[in-house]
């Protein structure tokens, strides 16, 4: 027995020694100076970095590729708060023998009040290599936004002069939105450059950064036709609803749970860029694959009261909370072939319902000065729920019969009711 014990100890020591040797070898590799490839545009990158620093422009390397290749090496420019990139940046780069093209936010899909008209949204530079600078603007919702290349009608011609096409770009093919982030200094083959401090998080955000603006023209048309509810009661409700959504966002963002505006809240966003005053609640959607068991205790810890819990995790889950007299509905969505659906349960009878939506993806938007998600295919999502007459306000609505996408889905067996029908208030 002692021999076996000693052998086990020896094996552990030997394994630990091998692991230590491997770690030391990896450390040596990481600390060894990296040779600079011959085609890395060191002089161009240094000139761009130095000029940006001189002009007070915070520039970050935002490219996963080591070498630029056929596509431009991409940087992000962060202007001073409330500012933009000045013309002196163009003149300074031209003095350093760069060819430069500027793309502007001339015809954005939707106008916004916090981005000046005809603002520069991107620069393409070439001396020995192609460089791209994407301008990030600070939005009222306290996040970074960049424009889409197609908001400049002359963008294709400008890119053609550099041997580029819109399809070849990694950034700016759509508008994008990012949470605020910190930066740190790193070396790119000996050249000090700023990079996002949490590069993994930045790349994760980049892959899902597509942004769409709320259509204020549509909202104005709606209010012209049907008026604007500005009673004291509606104003008070809208303020409470904003606070409720803001608190829910804080909790779910902390848990890394993706959510989007759903049901009546999504309709209000799409139709009038605001909360529907007579809706009396806030609705959000969450993919069941993003379910986190900490959701319930976190909401309770932040002052929410659980109103009801319907369904179970693998079928028709729905939670409702109360806070400051307003209801928050969390609908969980399931994928099934060409459809995505959420369930509904009638508490007194146990009847089940399904609400079917065509498959959709998620985009960022700004709603009530909050950076939140909505289905990118917002119109199709709204029409699935409210039909082709979604633009017309409706005062009477029955959740289990009025929606255009509702289907009967059987009933919960009575012996499961204590688990799937929990009503608390």
The domain spans of the chain are: 42-206, 216-423
Q: In which element (H, E) is residue 11 found? A: helix 2-31
Q: How far apart are the first and last CA of the chain?
A: 63
For residue 182, the model assigns a pLDDT of: 92
pLDDT of residue 159: 94
pLDDT in tens, the chain (425 residues): 444 444 545 555 555 555 455 444 433 433 344 455 656 788 999 999 999 988 888 999 987 665 455 568 899 998 765 555 667 899 999 999 999 999 999 988 887 777 877 889 999 999 999 999 999 999 988 999 999 999 999 999 999 999 999 988 888 999 999 999 999 998 877 788 888 988 888 888 988 999 999 999 999 999 999 998 888 888 888 899 999 999 999 999 999 999 999 999 999 999 999 999 888 899 999 999 999 999 999 999 999 999 999 999 999 999 999 999 999 999 999 999 999 999 999 999 999 999 999 999 999 999 999 999 999 999 999 999 999 999 999 888 899 999 999 999 999 999 999 999 999 96
Burial class (CB in 10 A: 0-12, 13-18, 19+), 148: buried
pTM of the predicted protein model: 0.87
pLDDT at res. 86: 66
* CATH code for the part of the protein at 216-423: 3.30.460.10
The 10 Å Cβ neighbour count of residue 294 is 13
| CA–CA distance, 245 with 61 (Å, rounded to integer) | 34
Cα gap 79→58, rounded to integer Å: 7
Q: Which residues pair with 186 in a beta bridge?
A: 193
Q: Residue 51: its pLDDT value, please?
A: 92
pLDDT at 349: 97
pLDDT of amino acid 6: 47
d(C-alpha 149, C-alpha 155), whole Å:
7
Task: List Cβ<8 Å contacts ≥24 apart for 99-104.
Answer: 99/125, 99/126, 99/127, 99/161, 99/162, 100/124, 100/125, 100/126, 101/158, 101/159, 101/161, 101/162, 102/158, 103/147, 103/149, 103/151, 103/152, 103/155, 103/158, 103/172, 104/151, 104/152
Is the Cα dihedral 257, 262, 268, 271 positive or negative? positive
Q: Which pLDDT value is given to residue 311?
A: 98
- The Cα 185–Cα 206 span in angstroms is 20
According to the model, what pLDDT value does residue 24 have?
45
């Amino acid at each position: 027995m002692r021999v076996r014990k000693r052998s086990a100890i020896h094996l552990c020591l030997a394994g630990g020694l091998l692991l230590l040797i491997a770690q030391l070898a990896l450390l040596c590799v990481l600390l060894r100076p990296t040779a600079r490839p011959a085609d890395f545009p060191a002089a161009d990158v240094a000139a761009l970095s130095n000029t940006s620093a001189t002009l007070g422009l915070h520039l970050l390397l935002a490219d996963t590729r080591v070498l630029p290749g056929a596509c431009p090496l991409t940087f992000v420019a962060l202007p001073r708060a409330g500012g933009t990139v000045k013309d002196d940046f163009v003149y300074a780069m031209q003095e350093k023998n760069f060819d430069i093209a500027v793309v502007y936010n001339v015809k954005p899909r939707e106008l916004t009040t916090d981005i000046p008209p005809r603002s520069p949204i991107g620069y393409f530079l070439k001396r020995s290599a192609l460089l791209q600078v994407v301008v990030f603007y600070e939005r009222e919702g306290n996040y970074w936004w960049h424009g889409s290349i197609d908001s400049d009608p002359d963008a294709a011609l400008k890119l053609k002069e550099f041997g580029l096409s819109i399809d070849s770009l990694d950034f700016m093919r759509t508008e994008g939105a990012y949470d605020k982030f910190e930066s740190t200094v790193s070396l790119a083959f000996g050249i000090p450059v700023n990079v996002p401090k949490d590069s993994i998080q930045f790349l994760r955000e980049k892959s899902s950064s597509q942004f769409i603006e709320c259509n204020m023209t549509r909202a104005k048309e709606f209010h012209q036709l049907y008026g604007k509810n500005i009673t004291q009661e509606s104003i008070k409700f809208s303020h409470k609803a904003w606070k409720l959504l803001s608190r829910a966002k804080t909790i779910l963002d902390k848990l890394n749970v993706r959510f989007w505006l759903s049901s009546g809240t999504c309709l209000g966003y799409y139709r009038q860029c605001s909360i529907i005053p007579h809706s009396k609640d806030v609705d959000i959607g969450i993919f069941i694959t993003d379910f986190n068991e900490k959701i319930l205790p976190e909401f309770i810890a932040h002052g929410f009261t659980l109103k009801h819990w319907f369904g179970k995790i693998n079928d028709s889950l729905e939670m409702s909370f109360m806070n400051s007299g307003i209801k928050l509905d969390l609908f969980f969505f399931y994928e099934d072939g060409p459809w995505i659906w959420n369930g509904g349960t009638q508490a007194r009878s146990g009847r089940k319902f399904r609400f079917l939506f065509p498959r959709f993806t998620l985009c960022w938007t700004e709603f009530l000065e909050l950076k939140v998600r909505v289905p990118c295919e917002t119109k199709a999502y709204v029409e699935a729920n409210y039909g082709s007459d979604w633009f017309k306000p409706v005062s009477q609505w029955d959740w289990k019969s009025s929606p255009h996408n509702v289907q009967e889905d059987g009933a919960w067996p009575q012996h499961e009711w204590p688990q799937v029908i929990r009503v608390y208030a």
